Amino acid sequence: MLVLGERAYAEDRALAGAYYLRSAEFFMSMDDPRRAAARQRFLDTVLAEWSVTPDQHYAVPYGDITLSAYRFTPDSPRSVLVVFGGYDSYIEEWMPMWMTLRDSGFDVIIFDGPGQGACFEAGVPMAADWHDPVGAVLDYFGVDDVTLIGLSLGGCLVIRAAAFEPRVTRVIAYDAMTDFSACFARPLSGAAKEVISNAGRLPAKAVNQIVDHAMQHSLLAQWGIHNGEHVFGASTPAEMLALVRTYRTDDISHLLTQDILLMAGVGDHLVPFDQVSAQIQTLVNARSVVARIFTRAESAENHCQVGNLGLSLQVITRWINEQIGSTA
C-alpha cells in the first residue's frame, strides 16, 4: 500500500495516494515509525482536496481533552446533521460523503469521539456511554433538533447516544448493529468463537491463553487483538473482549422515542444480517422505524454500502427530507 501510494502521488493522483497511505497505516502497529507521517499526509491531502479551511475545524472540550470536529454549513441550511464513525475510524475518511450532504442543503457537523481518529492516536480509549461525547458536541455548537448518524460501529453507538440525548430528533444507524461481540465472533469457529462470544463470563486466564495461541498462528489475529487493546485501553485480550461485550443496544433500545432509519447490507462481511431485525424488534417506543435493506443487485450489499455510497446518500437524504417536511 505504501508503494502504491507513492506511485499515485507521482502520477498526480493525490487523493488515491492518500487512501493508499491510510490503508497502509490501518495495519501498522502503534509503534511503527512510519505511522504518524502516513496519517498526516493522508489528512493533509484529503483536507486540501475538499478545500477544508482551518476555520471549519474545531476543538470541542470533552473532560480533560478535546474532540476533533468539523462543520460545513451551506447557504440557508434546512436541518442539522451530526455524524461520527465507528471502530478505529477517521471521520476524514468519508469527506466526500459529508460534502455531498452539505451540497444537498444540510448543516453538517462531523466529529471523532473517544477511540476514533485524533483520540485514537492520542490513546484516548473508546467509551460505551456515547451520549457523553455527543452531548459535548451539541453543547459546543449550540444545536438541537438534530439528525444523529453513526457509521459502522457507530450504528450501535448512535442508538446508545440517542437513548439519553433528547436533542436528537432523528436517528440513522448506518449500518444497524445490536451486538459488537457477535461481529468479532462471526468469522471464527470452534473454541475461538466460543471465547469471543463469552468473554467476560469465562476465566480471564483461559481467554488469554486461547487468544495468545491464535495470535501465534495468525498475523491478522495478532493485529486485530493488539489494535483492539489500544482502541479500548485494555492491557490483555480478555479485558479487551470483555469491554467489547458492553457495545450492545438491547439494554437501552426501548428508551428511544425518535424517528429511526436502520440501514443494512445483505452481504455485510462484518455485521451479521439478522442484527437489523433484532434492532427493529427492540425499538418498541420509537416514533417511527424504517429499515432499508441494500442488495447485491444495487452493488450496495457491503458494509456501510461501500460499492454504492451514492445510493446510501440518496436514501438518507430522502428520509430526512420526509421527516422534516422538505421537498428540496
- The model's confidence at residue 1, banded by pLDDT at 50, 70 and 90, is very high
pLDDT at 189 over 80: no
Residue 147's φ and ψ, nearest 5 degrees, are -95, 120
Contact 72, 133 (CB under 8 A): no
Residue 143 confidence (pLDDT): 97
* pLDDT tens string 203-216: 888 888 888 888 88
pLDDT at 237 over 80: yes
The mean pLDDT value for 111-128 works out to 91
Q: Which residue, chain included where needed, has cell 477511540? A: 115
* Predicted TM-score (pTM) above 0.85: yes
CATH of the domain spanning 53-179+247-324, picked from 3.40.50.720, 3.40.190.10, 3.40.50.1820, 3.40.1260.10: 3.40.50.1820
CB atoms within 10 A of CB 297: 8
* pLDDT tens string 18-74: 999 999 999 898 889 999 999 999 999 999 999 999 999 999 999 999 999 999 999
Domain ranges of the chain: 1-49, 53-179+247-324, 181-244
- The secondary structure of residue 287, as a DSSP letter, is S
Spatial CA neighbour of 170 closest among 280, 278, 261: 261
H-helix or E-strand containing 146? strand 146-151
Q: What is the DSSP string of 223-238?
A: HHHHHHHHHHT-SSHH
- The secondary structure of residue 302, as a DSSP letter, is S
The mean pLDDT value for 106-112 works out to 97
Q: Which residues have C-beta within 8 Å of that of residue 1, sequence separation ≥ 6? A: 20, 21, 23, 24, 27
C-alpha cell at 323: 421527516
Neighbour order of strands in the sheet with 259-265 = 57-62, 65-72, 107-111, 80-84, 146-151, 168-174, 259-265, 288-294
Distance in angstroms (rounded) separating the CA atoms of residues 95 and 245: 30
pLDDT at 221 over 90: no
